[in-house]
């Protein structure tokens, strides 16, 4: 029998899953019954955030419990130093069986895992390739289903079943280009997804760099890659094209036939008449959102399958179940898709935890937490010492004691321009206020999240907020000093 003092950990990580697309977190656009089950039987953390809203850096932060500059993975182009300390390595040393299946995206082989099968780069939705310790393989099927299958197979077939396990199940979805499984082709087909109130944001009252980014759904998506349209008829000039329907070359003839017939049928309307600007924006929004949410539906299916597997195998009572994403995502807010900015929709990341005997069912926490906190949480749960250089704090302080473990949170996006033309910027957030420093301009913006939750107007030059601005700037300089951010990435402190 497994040592009951050390809980198993099932860590499920998705890619670009926005908080506002989980019904347990208040979604207006979809239902996620199996993810909701984690929250209903455990907790939702309603004030959960990342440190750097882009895939590779966020994953490095989760592994190390450190901010980007200190773990060395600042941008998508950086290779994670897999020789450094990570929570899987420490759990492995403490007697855990460890595995990772699915998206890795750290430009190196996994270390700290007894078993690994990971997607090359972003990976594919259909018939994905996997990198393994024994070479590359291809598996026929849909990625979310395969990743869940292989995670459960590893848990079930471990040679030393008496040992506790860490199983990292990393879904590719719902990352761009949002290619759904056929079982969800008709989901939302006969309904409209509610649009956010700032879908037609004009980007006034904020730093000028905001309007210069390239992530507007009606200007910067691709007809074929994003919207799955080859011929938009009189609307063709509105958006560029890339290289044809993405992933068709991955599909078997039968899969391709099924996908093409469905896709051709739904594209008839866009090719028949010239849409007005407003009609066009709404059309793009609906196409984007429905495919994105269809990909999430497949994740939700597989979360349910894994929860049932834990129940049926008798593992549920001693397994911590965690679901999160590597960052948030824009679902039309500010007229955008993608992430990167420190604005709420990409800064926030979902966090659901079921921990039998530790978290009461149906709990909601409103304390500020961040992805630097995950590694210390898992290590403390396993009875391991937490390295002193980790920046995070175990979530047990929130769960057991109701503590506020962070007075404020520090964020830093290091990639400068390039894809989506988002400049470097950093900032701090408290429960009510957010200070963003667009230091390449340079300009501070200040947002009152209580009065302006959609961040439509910076109050940095409002005399009524002068004291708040000064206080937030002090917090900002302290955070940069605390986390060792060099002047190369921002201005020298006063």
CATH code, domain carrying 457: 3.30.1120.10
pLDDT at 1: 37
196 domain-assigned: no
Global pTM reads 0.96
**What is the arithmetic mean of pLDDT over 215-244?**
95
Please write the tens of the pLDDT for every residue from 5-62.
Answer: 799 999 999 999 999 999 999 999 999 999 999 999 999 999 999 999 999 999 999 9
pLDDT of res. 3: 46
Q: Mean pLDDT score of the chain, rounded to an integer?
A: 96
Do residues 230 and 331 share a domain?
no
Asked whether the predicted pLDDT for residue 161 surpasses 90, the reply is no
pLDDT per residue as tens digits for the range 288-312: 999 999 999 999 999 999 999 999 9
Domain membership flag for residue 149: yes
- Going by C-beta distance under 8 Å and a sequence separation of 6 or more, which residues neighbour residue 320? 7, 8, 9, 10, 353, 354, 355, 358, 378, 381
- Report how far residue 72's alpha carbon sits from residue 52's, in angstroms, rounded to the nearest whole number: 12
Kindly tell me if the per-residue pLDDT of 490 is higher than 60. Answer: yes
d(CA 353, CA 373): 13
Query: From the centroid of its chain, how far is CA 485?
Result: 24
Examine residue 198 and state whether it is found in any structural domain, yes or no: no
Looking at residue 494, its pLDDT comes to 46
* Rounded Cα–Cα distance for residues 4 and 185 (Å): 43
* Tens of pLDDT, residues 401-411: 999 999 999 99
Residue 295 lies in a domain: yes
pLDDT tens sequence across 92-126: 999 999 999 999 999 999 999 999 999 999 999 99
- The fraction of the chain above a pLDDT of 70, given in percent, is 99
Percent of all residues in the chain with a pLDDT value above 90, rounded to a whole number: 94
Q: Average pLDDT for residues 429-449, to the nearest whole number?
A: 97
Average pLDDT over residues 136-152: 98
- Do 123 and 162 lie in one domain? The reply is yes
- Among residues 74, 57, 67, which one has the least CA distance to residue 390? 67
Note whether residue 193 is domain-resident.
no
Residues 329-387 pLDDT 10s: 999 999 999 999 999 999 999 999 999 999 999 999 999 999 999 999 999 999 999 99
Does residue 173 carry a pLDDT above 50?
A: yes
Q: Is residue 422 situated within a structural domain?
A: yes
Quick check: 165 pLDDT over 70? yes
Confidence at residue 160, expressed as pLDDT on a 0 to 100 scale:
81
| Same domain for 325 and 263 | no
Q: Which helix (H) or strand (E) holds 262?
A: helix 253-266
Specify the number of domains making up the chain: 3
Q: How confident is the model at residue 268 (pLDDT cuts 50, 70, 90)?
A: confident
User: 242 is in which domain, residue-wise?
Assistant: 204-288
161 and 18 belong to one structural domain:
yes
> Based on the domain organization, do 418 and 431 belong to the same domain?
yes
| pLDDT attached to residue 272 | 87
Give burial (CB, 10 Å; 0-12/13-18/19+) of 85: middle
pLDDT in tens, 274-293: 999 999 999 999 999 999 99
The answer on 302 and 225 residing in a single domain is: no
Average pLDDT over residues 149-161: 93
Contact 165, 98 (CB under 8 A): yes
Question: Domain ends where: 257, 288, 319?
Answer: 288
Q: What is the pLDDT of residue 492?
A: 60
């Amino acid at each position: 029998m497994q040592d009951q003092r050390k809980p198993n950990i099932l860590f499920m990580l998705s890619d670009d899953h926005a908080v506002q697309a989980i019904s347990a977190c208040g979604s207006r656009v979809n239902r996620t019954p199996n993810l909701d089950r984690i929250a209903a039987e455990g907790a939702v953390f309603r004030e959960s955030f990342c440190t750097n809203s882009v895939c590779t850096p966020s994953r490095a932060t989760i592994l190390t419990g450190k901010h980007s500059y200190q773990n060395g993975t600042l941008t998508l182009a950086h290779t994670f130093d897999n020789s450094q300390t990570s929570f899987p390595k420490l759990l492995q040393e403490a007697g855990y069986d460890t595995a990772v299946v699915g998206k890795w995206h750290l430009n190196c082989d996994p270390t700290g895992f007894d078993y690994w099968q990971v997607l090359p780069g972003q990976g594919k939705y259909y018939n994905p390739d996997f990198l393994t310790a024994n070479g590359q393989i291809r598996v026929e099927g849909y990625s979310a289903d395969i990743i869940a299958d292989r995670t459960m197979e590893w848990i079930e077939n471990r040679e030393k079943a008496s040992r506790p396990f860490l199983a990292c199940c990393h879904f590719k979805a719902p990352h761009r280009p949002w290619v759904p499984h056929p079982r969800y082709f008709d989901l939302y087909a006969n309904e409209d997804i509610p649009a956010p109130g700032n879908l037609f944001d004009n980007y006034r009252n904020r730093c000028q760099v905001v309007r210069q980014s390239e992530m507007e759904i009606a200007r910067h998506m691709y007809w074929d890659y994003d919207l799955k349209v080859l011929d938009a008829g009189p609307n063709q000039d509105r958006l560029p094209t890339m290289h044809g329907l993405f992933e068709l070359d991955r599909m078997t003839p039968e899969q391709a036939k099924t996908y093409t017939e469905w896709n051709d049928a739904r594209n008839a309307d866009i090719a028949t008449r010239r849409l007005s600007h407003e009609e066009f924006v709404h059309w793009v929004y609906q196409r984007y959102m429905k495919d994105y949410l269809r990909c999430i539906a497949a994740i939700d299916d597989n979360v349910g399958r894994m929860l049932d597997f834990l129940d049926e195998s008798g593992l549920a009572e001693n397994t911590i179940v965690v679901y999160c994403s590597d960052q948030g995502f824009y679902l039309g807010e500010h007229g955008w898709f993608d992430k990167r900015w420190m604005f709420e929709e990409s800064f926030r990341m979902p966090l659901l935890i079921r921990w039998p005997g530790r978290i009461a069912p149906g709990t909601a926490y409103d304390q500020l937490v961040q992805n630097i906190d995950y590694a210390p949480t898992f290590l403390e749960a396993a009875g391991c010492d937490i390295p002193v250089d980790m920046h995070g704090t175990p979530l047990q302080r929130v769960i057991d004691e109701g503590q506020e473990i962070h007075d404020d949170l520090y964020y830093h996006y290091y990639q400068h321009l390039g894809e989506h033309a988002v400049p470097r910027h950093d900032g701090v957030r408290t429960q009510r206020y957010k200070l963003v420093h667009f230091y390449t301009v340079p300009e501070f913006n200040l947002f009152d999240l209580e009065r302006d939750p959609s961040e439509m107007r910076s109050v940095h030059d409002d005399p009524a907020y002068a004291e708040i601005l000064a206080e937030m700037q002090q917090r900002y300089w302290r955070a940069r000093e605390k986390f060792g951010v060099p002047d190369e990435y921002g201005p020298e402190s006063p």
